[in-house]
Amino acid sequence: MQRRRILAATAAGTTLAMPALAQGLPELRWRLTSAFGRSLDITWGTVEYVCRAVAEVTDGRFRIQPFAAGEIVPALQAMDAVQNGSVEMAYTPGLFFTGKDTALAFSTTVPFMLNVRQQHAWFYAGGGNALLNAVYKPFNIHAMPCGNTGNQMGGWFRKEIRTVEDLNGLKMRVAGLAGAVMTRLGTVPQQLAPGDIYPALERGAIDAVEFIGPYDDGKIGLNKVARYYYYPGWGEGGAVFHAFANLEKFNALPKPYQAAIETACAGATTWMLAQYDWRNVEALYGLVAQGTQLRQFPNEVIDALARATAETFAELSAANPQFKALLESQVAFRDRSLAYHQVSDYAFDSMMLRLRRQQGR
């Protein structure tokens, strides 16, 4: 808005021509379908952020109209809708679609891999998004990082998880490769769209749920039907969401419009992470005050999940060269960067927690 006021003032006082965006480019209208409903105000707000930013930076000549899950297609059909051109764009985690190609899991997150800082470094500086778009290309999709939830929680359970055996036979809503990992320990994973999670848990169709974090989990009421809330989020250290654009239609856009979308998505990534980091704090305090039992997964369980993850990765790498290439890229960066984070962020956080305990807070 400020940019347009400056431009208007300049034009009023001189004979300078308005910029090309204001006069030379076509007026376009696109549609975007989201995998999330409007009630989840951070994920929906991220969609609105992108659409608003694109309209503002193009002086209203390029507008994208957002639609919630189910208004055009169901949440788990968002990728298909973009691929076949039913809509120009979608907003969704890529891990919803690992059934199409297991390598797509890396566009969101895979178990025991990158934290939120490492994810941003790998996607934006380490060539990760280029590697992933090679996977999306056969699906006629151009994918852009567009939001990060930060580390997600380990999930809601109706009963305590004290041993590995407690996972055996559980029916659990869990997304992406974490479900394949848990299968090795006897868990029965369920792929459910966000809008179907609470009803399934309430009626007992599932026994446990992994969703996002305290703010969204409390917003849909998971604490009302499950008592135990586990951490750490071993399956999603830093979950990246994506904006999908139909590749043919994206390539046909004027370059300024392509840049407008990509810039809006990058800004939305920062916006979403800030929202979750701000809101999850009070949300977690609120859940505990309402009776939620916060629990840490026992080391025995984490170790078993890590072993199952390694076995899963080995099998998928043998079957899918693109999965193998993405895994090797992330593992190399993760293992190298952990030493840096140990003496930077981890050391700082550990120091602050120690001082907090000394001060009795």
- For the segment 190-216, the average pLDDT, to the nearest whole number, is 94
CATH for 2-150+238-278, options being 3.40.50.720, 3.40.190.170, 1.20.1050.10, 1.10.10.10: 3.40.190.170
pLDDT per position as a tens digit, 106-150: 999 999 999 999 999 999 999 999 999 999 999 999 999 999 999
The structure tokens 């006021």 sit at: 5
Predicted local confidence at residue 58, as pLDDT: 96
- Amino acid of residue 52: R
Give, in words, the CATH class of 155-236+286-336.
alpha beta
Q: Is the pLDDT of residue 19 over 80?
A: no
Q: Is the pLDDT of residue 191 over 90?
A: no
- For the segment 204-229, the average pLDDT, to the nearest whole number, is 96
2-150+238-278 matches 155-236+286-336 in fold: yes
Ranges of each domain in the chain = 2-150+238-278, 155-236+286-336
Predicted local confidence at residue 10, as pLDDT: 36
Predicted local confidence at residue 5, as pLDDT: 42
- Helix locations, the chain, DSSP H: 2-13, 20-23, 41-57, 78-83, 116-124, 128-136, 177-183, 197-202, 214-219, 247-252, 255-289, 299-319, 321-343, 345-358
Q: What is the value of pTM for the model shown?
A: 0.90
CA-closest candidate to residue 190, choices 164, 166, 209: 209
Q: Is the pLDDT of residue 7 over 50?
A: no
Report whether 128 contacts 327 (CB < 8 A). no
Predicted local confidence at residue 24, as pLDDT: 84
